[in-house]
């Protein structure tokens, strides 16, 4: 009797699981087709130096220009493929697209560092460095030192030694590394000690509430302090207002990215945006104050 119930139960869940597997399979097929059909786009979000008042770089952010559903963000489709090799094909498409764009900007006299987010599975491939070298060689107009890779601390979870070696090998080519969403990971401190990062990106969840939450303010301050003592560059993401920026500058963080500066935009809008960019008057004031 009990066994029968168990079997029935099993069949019940099994059918549900089958359906789930089918749905995931269909979603992955659709995503692969979108890649082949050229429905992916890169948007770019500026990174600025609030003190100097200039644009220092761009972060490439993936979008899916879906024929029926409109523009989809990466969180709406990347999680479905993160555990499959499709994430590697997508990642390589992103790298090529970003390098192609950098080549155009360089030709237009804009020497921006462009950062690309790299998924853990992609980064952990044994041939990551050799394939990246080959991709870089396709774009002779771009120096590797203009490319920055953003990785999550959790990318290193599985094999920190391998990740470390890959980072070193890339850095030998001139590529720099940012630890994205810094502070949200399990053991940010031990990664900081063991991974040769160049840049810390303060997670936007801390930045967003820093003006009305003391704890978040202290966390932001702690990350800035860490970056300073490890001689790393620090950038705040999720800077939604001028006031956030001013406070960050007071705390010693001059680099920022966020809706308060610019939203991610299609590549063809970037040059025009950059030509019109001027730092907030409050930031100029803060810069002169602390220089005095
Ligand atoms: P991320 O790398 O931490 O990127 C920052 C995200 O915050 C972006 O979301 C950006 O649009 C958003 N953002 C920027 N400024 C603000 C702000 O002031 N306020 C708020 N609320 N949000 C802001 P997006 O484009 O949806 O990307 C989400 C995540 O998807 C990224 O987080 C990154 O982890 C991943 N991702 C994006 N593009 C790629 C890609 O090409 N490859 C891989 N593997 N992952 C990607
Ligand atoms: Mg990022
Ligand atoms: Mg981030
Ligand atoms: Mg994030």
Coil/strand/helix, residue 256: strand
Q: What pLDDT is recorded for position 187?
A: 67
In whole angstroms, give the CA distance from residue 10 to residue 6: 6
Residue 268 backbone phi and psi in degrees, to 5: -75, -5
Lining residues, ligand 1, CB within 6 Å: 45, 61-62, 73-75, 78, 91, 94, 117, 119, 150, 180-181, 204, 237-240, 258-259, 264
Instruction: Please tell me the distance from the alpha carbon of residue 118 to that of residue 70, in angstroms, as a whole number.
Output: 24
Q: How many angstroms separate the CA atoms of 265 and 91, rounded?
A: 19
Count Cα neighbours of 267 within 13 Å in the Cβ-side half-sphere. Answer: 19
Q: pLDDT tens digits for 173-205?
A: 999 999 999 988 766 788 888 899 999 999 999
Regions in the chain scoring below 70 on pLDDT: 1-17, 156-157, 186-187, 290-292
2 C-alpha to center of ligand 3: Å?
50
Does the predicted interface ipTM exceed a cut of 0.85?
Answer: yes
CA neighbours closer than 13 Å in the CB half-sphere of residue 135: 20
Tokens 């803060």 identify what position? 286
Give the model's pLDDT for residue 143. 97
Residues in the chain: 292
| Residue among 117, 147, 261 to mutate when testing ligand 1 (max atoms within 8 A of CB) | 117
Q: pTM higher than 0.90 for the full model?
A: yes
pLDDT, residue 183, reads: 86
What's the pLDDT at 18?
74
Show the beta-strand stretches assigned E in the chain.
40-49, 54-66, 70-72, 113-117, 147-152, 176-182, 199-202, 233-236, 255-256, 265-266
Instruction: Specify the pLDDT at position 52.
Output: 95
């Amino acid at each position: 009797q009990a066994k029968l119930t168990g079997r029935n139960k099993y069949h019940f869940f099994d059918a549900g699981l089958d359906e789930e597997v089918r749905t995931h399979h269909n979603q992955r097929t659709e995503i692969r087709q979108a890649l082949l059909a050229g429905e992916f786009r890169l948007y770019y979000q500026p990174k600025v130096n609030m003190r100097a008042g200039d644009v220092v770089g761009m972060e490439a952010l993936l979008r899916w220009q879906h024929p029926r559903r409109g523009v989809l963000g990466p969180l709406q489709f990347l999680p479905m493929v993160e555990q499959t090799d499709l994430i590697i094909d997508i990642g390589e498409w992103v790298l090529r697209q970003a390098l192609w764009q950098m080549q155009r900007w360089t030709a237009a006299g804009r020497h921006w560092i462009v950062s690309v987010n790299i998924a853990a599975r992609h980064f952990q491939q044994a041939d990551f460095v050799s394939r990246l070298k080959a991709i870089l060689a396709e774009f002779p107009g771009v120096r590797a030192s203009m490319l920055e890779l953003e990785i999550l601390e959790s990318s290193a979870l599985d094999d920190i030694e391998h990740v470390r070696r890959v980072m070193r090998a890339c850095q030998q080519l001139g590529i720099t590394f940012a630890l994205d969403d810094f502070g949200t990971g399990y053991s940010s401190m031990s990664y900081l000690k063991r991974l040769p990062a160049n840049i810390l990106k303060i997670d936007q969840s801390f930045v967003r509430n820093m003006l009305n939450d003391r704890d978040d303010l202290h966390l932001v301050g702690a990350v800035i302090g860490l970056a300073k003592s490890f001689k790393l560059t620090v950038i705040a993401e999720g800077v939604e207002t001028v006031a956030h920026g001013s406070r960050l500058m007071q705390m010693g963080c001059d680099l920022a990215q966020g809706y308060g500066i610019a939203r991610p935009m299609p590549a063809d809008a970037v040059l025009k945006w950059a030509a019109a960019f001027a730092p907030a008057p409050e930031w100029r004031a803060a810069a002169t104050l602390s220089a005095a």
